[in-house]
Amino acid sequence: MSLDDNPDNRKVSIPQTIWILGLVSFFSNSAAVVITALTPEFVINVLGSTPAAVGYIRGLSESISYLVKLFSGVFSDWLGKRKVLILIGYLCAAFTKPMFAISKGLGLYVTAQFLERITNGLRDTPRDALIADCAPREVKGDSYGIRNSFAYVGSLVGSVACVFILASCTGDSSESIRLVYWIASIPIFLSVLLIYFCIKEPTGIARLKDRKGFPIKMSDVKQLGSKFWYYMLICFIFMCSRYSEAFLALRAKEIGLSLKYVPLILAVMYLFNAPTSKIVGSWSDRHERKIFLAFGFCMMMASCMIMALATEIWHVFVGAAIYGIHWGATQGTFYAMVTDYSPPQIKGTSIGIFNLVYSAGICVSNVLMGELWTRHGADVALTVNGAITFVAAVGIMFVKQNPKDKVEVK
C-alpha cells in the first residue's frame, strides 16, 4: 500500500479515536506490566512454585485470553458496536488487580491471572477492530503503530515506577510486591474514564445482527482466501517461539540481578519497543508488511541466542532490548496484515481468528519454555525457541502480497 494511492496526494491525518485508544493503552499497560515483571518472583519465591509453573500459568492464561478474543471479535461484528465491549473489558480488569495483592496461595493467584487475561481478551479484539473501522487505508499500519507505541511507553513508565516503589519499600519482598499490585489498580480506572467519556464509534460499521441464522457465514470465511490461511500457519509457528516477557525477568534474576531492579529489564525492552512500533507501523503502509515481520522474527532469533549465552547482567539487557525491537516490528504489523486480508463485514472475526491462532502458539511456547527451563536450563529452552523462530522467518518470505480489493457487505 502506498500513499500515492491517495488521488489528491494529501497527507491523511490520524483520527482522534486512535489517539484516545493510545492513551487508554498507556494507562492500562503501565499497570499490567508489573504483573508480568513480578510473576516469577511471586510464584517461585513467595508462593513456593517452579519455573514450569510460571510457564503453565502464563501460557494457559494467555491462551484463554486469545480464545476469548475470537468470540469477542465475532460478537462485536454481530453487534456492530465495539465500545461497549471495550469498556466492560477494562472495567472488569480494574477489579482483578487487587486479587493479586491478597493472594496467599497459588489457587487465588492463578484465578486472578486467568480472570485478568479473560478481560483482556474481551476488550482487545473489539479495540483492534475499532482501529480498523476508524483508520483510513493510507495510515492503517501507522494507526496500529501509534496505539502500540502508547502501550509500550505505558509499560516503560510502569516498569520504572515499579523499580522506585520496590526500592523505597523496607519490608520483605512479599509485602513489597503486594503493595505494587495495589497501586497498579489506579491507572486502569483512568482508562475506563477515557473510554466512557472520550471515545465515539464511527457511523456505518458493517453489522451482522440482522442476518438470519448464525451471523458469520461460511461464505464470509471463504473470502479470506488461501493466502490468509498460509499467513495464519506462519503466525502459529512463530507464536510457538514467543515466550512471555516474564522469562526475561526470570533470566535476569538467575544471572544475579536484584529483585528491585528486575523491572528495569522490561523497561529496556519497552524503551526499544515503542519507537520501533511507530516507525515500522508507518513504513509498513508504504512497503510489503512481510519484510518487517521477517526482520522482527530475526530479532527474536538474535534475542534468544543472546539470552541463552548470557553470563553477565548486561547481556540480559542487550537481549531484552533486541526482544523489544522484535515486538515493536511485529505486533502492530501482524494486525494490520490481518485486516489487509479481511472483508469489511468480518474484520472483528478475522482478527479473532488470528487471536485464536496466537493463543494456541503462545500456549505451546510458554509451556515448552517452562518445562525445558525446569528440566534442562535456560540455555536449552532459549535455543529451542530460536530454532522455531528460524523456521517462521523462512516461511514468512513466501507469504503472498496482501490483496488490495475489499469485499463489501451484501
Domains and their CATH numbers in the chain: 12-203+219-396 (1.20.1250.20)
204 pLDDT band, cuts 50/70/90, is low
Task: Give residues with Cβ within 8 angstroms of 49, minimum separation 6.
Answer: 43, 106
Single-letter code of the amino acid located at 324: G
Which of 71-85, 142-156, 215-229 shows the lowest per-residue confidence on average (mean pLDDT)?
215-229
Dihedral angle, C-alpha 379, 384, 389, 391, nearest 10 °? 150
Nine cell digits for residue 354? 488470528
pLDDT of residue 23: 94
pTM (2 d.p.): 0.70
CA–CA gap between residue 298 and residue 296 (Å, rounded): 5
212 pLDDT band, cuts 50/70/90, is low
Single-letter code of the amino acid located at 10: R
Instruction: Describe the crossing of helices 83-101 and 51-79 by its angle, rounded to 10 degrees.
Output: 160
Average pLDDT, the chain: 82
Q: How many CB atoms lie within 10 A of CB 237?
A: 21
Mean pLDDT to the nearest integer, 228-255: 90
pLDDT of residue 221: 67
pLDDT of residue 394: 95
401 pLDDT band, cuts 50/70/90, is low
Nine cell digits for residue 207? 453489522
Q: Of 45, 34, 136, 125, which Cα lies nearest the Cα of 88?
A: 125
Is 172 or 130 the better-scoring residue by pLDDT?
Answer: 130
Which long-range contacts (C-beta less than 8 Å, at least 24 apart) are formed by 255-261?
255/310, 255/311, 255/312, 255/313, 255/315, 255/316, 256/313, 257/313, 257/316, 259/41, 259/166, 259/173, 260/163, 260/166, 260/167, 260/176, 261/163
143, 137 contact by CB (below 8 A): no
Most confident of 71-75, 152-156, 365-369: 365-369
CA–CA gap between residue 43 and residue 406 (Å, rounded): 47
155 exposed, middle or buried (CB, 10 Å; 0-12, 13-18, 19+)?
buried
Q: Of 280, 285, 240, 248, which Cα lies nearest the Cα of 266?
A: 248
Which of 111-120, 199-208, 305-314, 342-351 shows the lowest per-residue confidence on average (mean pLDDT)?
199-208
Residue 402, phi then psi, degrees to nearest 5: -60, 135
93, 109 contact by CB (below 8 A): no
pLDDT digits (tens, 9 = 90+) for 304-316: 999 999 999 999 9
Q: How many CB atoms lie within 10 A of CB 195?
A: 24
Nine cell digits for residue 74? 465475532
> Is the pLDDT confidence value at 2 over 50?
no
> Is the pLDDT confidence value at 79 over 60?
yes
> Is the pLDDT confidence value at 393 over 70?
yes
